Structure 1
Amino acid sequence: MSSLAPAKPRRRLSRESRRLQLIEVAWGLAREEGADALTLGRLAEQAGVAKPVVYDHFGTRSGLLAALFEDFDLRQTAAMDAALAASEPTLVDRARVIAEAYVGCALDQGRELAGVAAALEGSPELESVKRRCEAAFLEKCRAALDPFAPGGVSTPALVGALGAADALSRAAAAGEIDADPARAELLAVILAAVERSRGPLRQPA
């Protein structure tokens, strides 16, 4: 049985504050009961609001799950931005920041992130959110790493690094591999991507 107790009615919130509250409650539901529990009706009950409020913010269950995925990405991006701003301007330091931020955020979110992504698999909402998040992440990596490769890091190399980041972080969050080896492997992948882009055989992006 879930340890969650129905939330008490809260004071009236602004639209943005209410959305943030609903997302926080939804993550709690996913953590305690799994992604299958994330229905709009269950979220309304847990958040102590009327169902129309939840429908107004997310529209559908897929819309809610997509909002959670996007929320995770925003927090991951903020963590990486802060770490990059505080890092030394060297290739190893920049690559390490990217690796640690990507794996670290996935670990912080736990297995509920994998459940949300799995529940959304194949939906138009997920495809739209994933493409937008991936494009933003690639551009952020490009800005951080391009100074270390004449002509910049190639797009195929960045896409390959993103695939490795996703696979390694999911495995670490699921407990299939330890966090430190996941970070170390992703660091090696990123450094290799930059090194390949430096070589004379680099193909146009």
Structure 2
Amino acid sequence: MTKPVVYDHFGTRSGLLVALYREFDARQTVIMDSAIEASEPTLEAKAAVIASSYVDCVLLQGREIPDVIAALAGSPELERVKRQYEAVFIEKCRIVLTPFAGSGNIAAAGLWGMLGAAEALSYAAATGDITATQAKDELFEIIVAMVERNAGGHRRSAASHTNK
């Protein structure tokens, strides 16, 4: 395919990147929603589904998706699109995981940290730095720890450690 043909269809490079990301997100959403629906109603089962779905979806898309995600941060317009999709993913995870948090809430910072870990671990698996199993296992542990912190096992913040 030549550059003019692509731009005739998508308009701009940004349009192409947004279309690729939307396609990726739509596939990821279908896979994750189906797996969540079919999973047992336990924290471990839900965390495993989120971890596996995220990593598997990135790996199915190949090495290009992490590059598309990185490119989305390259302009304010593309960054807005990426942030919208991230907010939807975070809200979905919050809804799925909140029943297991004793406080009835999961801190936004933890959810953003989980997403950052999901992106980094998936990228590392896609580039062969770690295995898919290692990525899924680590993300699972991060998700469980995040929810358990909100279930009553609160740790002090970094600021409280420095004030000792």
TM range (shorter): 0.7 to 0.9
SS in structure 1 at match of 2:45: helix
Q: Percent identity?
A: 55
* 1:162 matched residue in structure 2: 115
**Match of 1:187, as an amino acid?**
F
- CA apart distance, 1:153: 1.6
Counterparts of 1:60-99 in structure 2, within 5 Å, are: 60-99=12-51
**Match of 2:84, as an amino acid?**
R
- CA apart distance, 1:157: 1.2
**Counterpart pick for 2:140 among 165, 170, 187:** 187
**Match of 2:33, as an amino acid?**
D
Superposed CA offset, 1:85-110 (max 9, x none) = 10000110000000000000000000
Query: Residue 43 in 1 paired to residue 24 in 2?
Result: no
Flag the structure with more relative contact order, 1 or 2, with Cα contacts below 8 A and sequence separation at least 6: 2
- Whole-Å Cα distance in 1 between the matches of residues 73 and 98 of structure 2? 32
SS in structure 1 at match of 2:85: helix
SS in structure 2 at match of 1:198: coil
Counterparts of 1:1-205 in structure 2, within 5 Å, are: 39=3, 41-43=4-6, 51=8, 54=9, 58-150=10-102, 151-199=104-152, 201=154
- CA apart distance, 1:43: 2.8
**Structure 1 residues 193-202 or 149-158, which shifts more?**
193-202
- CA apart distance, 1:137: 0.4
Equivalent residues of 1:157, 1:197 under 8 A apart: no
- Whole-Å Cα distance in 1 between the matches of residues 51 and 86 of structure 2? 15
**Match of 2:98, as an amino acid?**
D
**Match of 2:75, as an amino acid?**
S
**Match of 1:43, as an amino acid?**
V
TM-score by length of 2: 0.87
- The alignment yields a C-alpha RMSD, in angstroms, of 1.9
- Whole-Å Cα distance in 1 between the matches of residues 5 and 133 of structure 2? 37
Give ranges in structure 1 of 5+ residues lacking alignment.
Answer: 1-5, 7-36, 45-50
Q: Based on CA coordinates, which of the two structures has the bigger radius of gyration?
A: 1
TM-score by length of 1: 0.70
- CA apart distance, 1:70: 1.7
Would the alpha carbon gap of residues 130 and 119 (structure 1) be closer, same or farther in structure 2, given more than 3 Å must change? Answer: closer
Give ranges in structure 2 of 5+ residues lacking alignment.
Answer: 157-164
